[in-house]
Amino acid sequence: MIGLIKVAHGNFDLELRDVALREPGEGEVVVRVRYAGICGTDVHIARDEFPSWPPVILGHEFTGTVERLGPSVDPDLAGRRIVCEPHAGACHVCHLCRRGHPELCASKRSPGWGMNGAFASHVVVPAWLLHPLPAGIPDGVAVLAEPMAVVMTALRHASLAAGDFVLVVGPGPVGALAALACRAAGASNVVVAGRTTSPARLELLSDMGFTTLSSDVPDAVRGMTSGRGADLVVECSGSAQGIAIGIEAARRTGRMASIGLSGQPALEVPWDLATSRALDVAFSMSSSFEGWEAAIPVLARVAADAARLPTIFPLASWRDAFAALQSRSVVKAVLDPTAPTTASVAES
């Protein structure tokens, strides 16, 4: 099969290569991939800013159909439409696994960086990570399940409550999903802040009914909250500037959910301002089982808006997809490995 592969450490160029599909082992299934989303993490993986075990096919966000079962897999899974938690390799016995956090296990080797992922026609994954999909979620929405699970994990950690005034910083796919989830959960208002270099993203969010801001964000938020500031800031930018805006716009004793990764070893943040705000900051990493359980019904609830986030590219046009992501001309770039391939494939 053809897969989009990170060839080696230090080589930032991805390549389409012919890769053998391995047989499913004990407890594993073969999934025929329908769509696979490109994540900011994929860019970090390509640049060696996130751990990986190349040569490896990228792609940890996907939806598809269970095509083949390995030994000891529940036969009811055959033929099911699924989404899949990316926590393969979790050991089940370490302190974090036993506390219910396999997503943070040091042994985890997810599809897309620790084992072959979903930027290919098929992917082999452990069956215990699958979530069968209800009929109400089309494939183009289901492909957003992993980032929505990341969002739901963070929002639970930051105690999102009905009536909250929410400021989302960063209008990318995670920010857009966070805005939709907060609105569905009963936020009194959801404002999305983004740079003027993301006009397409801000326009789409504004069209979905969110207030969008690209300058003087803290003042504008104070103006909308009788001078208090936001109850909850959802930080999805991973940039020093975005974090500073979020801290400044939060109310005293407000909460901040931190989801964005910077890709940098360190960032300068207004620490004393955060302290004087008496902010509760909840850092969040990856997606918990509870986050996945919440993500699927929330996606069903916001499906009409969520369906507008992905832009689909054939797998062969992966360069265009990555370029569109990096230029922020699309909200979410999604690869379709079932589309006809015309690109040349390197010898493996």
* Among positions 38, 97, 169, 306, the unique one binding Zn ion when judged by CB under 5 A: 97
145 touches Zn ion by CB under 5 A: no
Residue whose C-alpha is closest to residue 152's, from 305, 282, 312, 332: 282
Residue whose C-alpha is closest to residue 263's, from 238, 234, 236: 238
**Is 123 within 8 Å of 33 (Cβ atoms)?**
yes
- Cα dihedral sign, 262-141-104-280: positive
Q: How far is the CB of 313 from Zn ion (least distance, A)?
A: 17
303 touches Zn ion by CB under 5 A: no
Q: How far is the CB of 42 from Zn ion (least distance, A)?
A: 7
- Whichever of 41 and 317 has its CB closer to Zn ion, that residue is 41
- Whichever of 94 and 240 has its CB closer to Zn ion, that residue is 94
Contacts to Zn ion from residues 199-258, by CB under 5 A:
none
Question: CA Rg, the chain, in Å?
Answer: 20
Active site residue 44: yes
User: Which residues contact residue 194 at a Cβ distance below 8 angstroms, ignoring those fewer than 6 apart?
Assistant: 169, 170, 171, 175, 201, 202, 205, 212, 213, 214, 237
Size of the site for Zn ion (CB under 5 A): 6
Span interacting with Zn ion, options 92-100, 155-163, 266-274, 277-285, rule CB under 5 A: 92-100
* CA angle, residues 341, 345, 347, in degrees to nearest 5: 155
* Among positions 8, 78, 91, 267, the unique one binding Zn ion when judged by CB under 5 A: 91
Contacts to Zn ion from residues 16-55, by CB under 5 A:
39, 41
* Among positions 19, 33, 58, 105, the unique one binding Zn ion when judged by CB under 5 A: 105
Active site residue 101: no
In the set 9, 41, 87, 196, the catalytic residue is 41
Q: How far is the CB of 48 from Zn ion (least distance, A)?
A: 17
**Is 143 within 8 Å of 61 (Cβ atoms)?**
yes
CA–CA distances in Å: residue 235 to residues 53, 118, 169, 244: 29, 27, 5, 10
Active site residues: 41, 44
What are the residues binding Zn ion (CB under 5 A)?
39, 41, 91, 94, 97, 105
